[in-house]
């Protein structure tokens, strides 16, 4: 890593420390590679799951959905799974706050909802159920990072709440026959919270089901093109470091299939059938 001339880091303030302190990049990389190898040896890790719609899949890339349902082999590393574990820890911490408040009912309620307009059920997991004013209220917790914080401390809320999160909670409200719920966000950078009440809307729910129906229609067709508006160096395709190096630090599991080398993928399920 390059440092500025006036850098006050420990190594620069005490140059002699370079004699006994070094950056170990190889060790963690070897550990991650070994774990990937061990997981590849587990037959259950590649077992095809029962077809269903994940409740958070609504606004995902239709091409990625098609590839996943045809059980395509990934062309890129799925990324740092430790980030997902961090999100779980945030969820646990937020749920504990509600437990201490005295209005906690239960956590992690599994949902499987069947709509006659869809061939596949929608499944998901409510993070928590709380009691409020005599009502049972579902709670969906999301951990996020700063966005545009250099423009103001509250800019991180500009894109909240996200449509896919409201859609996810709307499905839960329908499945549980409840009138309202909350989507709560936790900013991992600065420990800030923002909570949004969501009331059930039949109009929006019908839009959600319509979107899932569109995705289902694509599954039996040829592989769809890259959706309009998706770009090579932007989320959710690929995203770069913000330090000016233009280094790709994360990507979709099929990034190299869509961009760059445009690598072919192996489909374990050639013809998708219901």
Which residue spans within the chain are E strands per DSSP? 53-54, 104-113, 122-132, 135-144, 180-187, 192-199, 238-240, 248-251
**pTM of the full predicted structure?**
0.77
Between CA 99 and CA 5 the distance in angstroms is 49
Total domain count, the chain = 1
Instruction: Tell me the pLDDT tens digit for each residue of 126-143.
Output: 999 999 988 999 999 998
pLDDT of 126 reads 94
189 has which bridge partners? none
177 domain-assigned: yes
Instruction: Tell me the pLDDT tens digit for each residue of 204-243.
Output: 999 999 999 998 999 889 999 999 999 988 888 988 776 6
Dig out the tokens for 167 from the structure.
């859609």
The domain that holds 106 is classified in CATH as: 3.90.320.10
pLDDT of 2 reads 57
Q: Is the pLDDT of residue 20 over 60?
A: yes
Instruction: Tell me the pLDDT tens digit for each residue of 67-87.
Output: 988 999 999 875 555 666 777
pLDDT of 47 reads 44
94 domain-assigned: yes
Q: Is the pLDDT of residue 4 over 70?
A: no
Instruction: Please state the separation of Cα 6 from the chain's center in Å.
Output: 38
What confidence category does residue 49 fall into, taking pLDDT thresholds of 50, 70 and 90?
A: very low
Instruction: Tell me the pLDDT tens digit for each residue of 171-215.
Output: 999 999 999 999 999 888 788 889 999 999 999 999 999 999 998
pLDDT of 238 reads 87
For the chain, the C-alpha Rg in angstroms (whole number) is 22
Residue 184: domain span? 82-214
185 domain-assigned: yes
pLDDT of 156 reads 78
254 domain-assigned: no
- Higher-confidence residue of 273 and 116: namely 116
28 domain-assigned: no
What confidence category does residue 63 fall into, taking pLDDT thresholds of 50, 70 and 90?
A: very high
90 domain-assigned: yes
**High-pLDDT (> 70) share of the chain, %:** 82
164 domain-assigned: yes
95 domain-assigned: yes
Query: DSSP letter string over 101-156?
Result: HT-EEEEEEEEEE--TT-SS-EEEEEEEEEEETTEEEEEEEEEE---SGGG-TTGG
What confidence category does residue 45 fall into, taking pLDDT thresholds of 50, 70 and 90?
A: very low
Q: Is the pLDDT of residue 57 over 60?
A: yes
């Amino acid at each position: 890593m390059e440092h500025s001339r006036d850098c006050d880091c420990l190594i620069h303030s005490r140059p002699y420390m370079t004699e006994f302190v070094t950056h170990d990049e190889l060790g963690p990389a070897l550990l991650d590679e070994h774990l990937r190898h061990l997981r590849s040896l587990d037959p259950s890790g590649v077992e095809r799951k029962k077809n269903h719609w994940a409740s958070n899949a609504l606004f995902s890339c239709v091409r990625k959905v098609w590839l996943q349902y045809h059980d395509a082999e990934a062309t890129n590393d799925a990324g740092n799974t430790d980030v997902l574990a961090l999100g779980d820890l945030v969820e646990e911490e937020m749920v504990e706050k509600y437990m201490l408040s005295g209005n906690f009912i239960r956590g992690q309620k599994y949902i499987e909802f069947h709509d006659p307009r869809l061939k596949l059920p929608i499944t998901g997991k409510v993070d928590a159920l709380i009691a409020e004013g005599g009502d049972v209220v579902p709670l969906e917790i999301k951990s996020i990072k700063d966005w545009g914080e250099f423009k103001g401390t509250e800019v991180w809320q500009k894109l909240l709440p996200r449509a896919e999160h409201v859609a996810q909670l709307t499905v839960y409200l329908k499945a549980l026959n409840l009138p309202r719920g909350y989507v709560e966000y936790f900013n991992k950078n600065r420990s800030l919270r923002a909570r949004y009440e969501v009331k059930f809307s039949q109009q929006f729910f019908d839009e959600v089901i319509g979107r899932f129906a569109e995705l289902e229609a694509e599954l039996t067709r040829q592989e769809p093109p890259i959706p309009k508006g998706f770009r090579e160096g932007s989320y959710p395709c690929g995203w770069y470091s913000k330090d000016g190096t233009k280094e790709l630090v994360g990507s979709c599991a099929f990034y190299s299939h869509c961009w760059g080398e445009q690598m072919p993928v192996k489909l374990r399920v050639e013809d998708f059938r219901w």
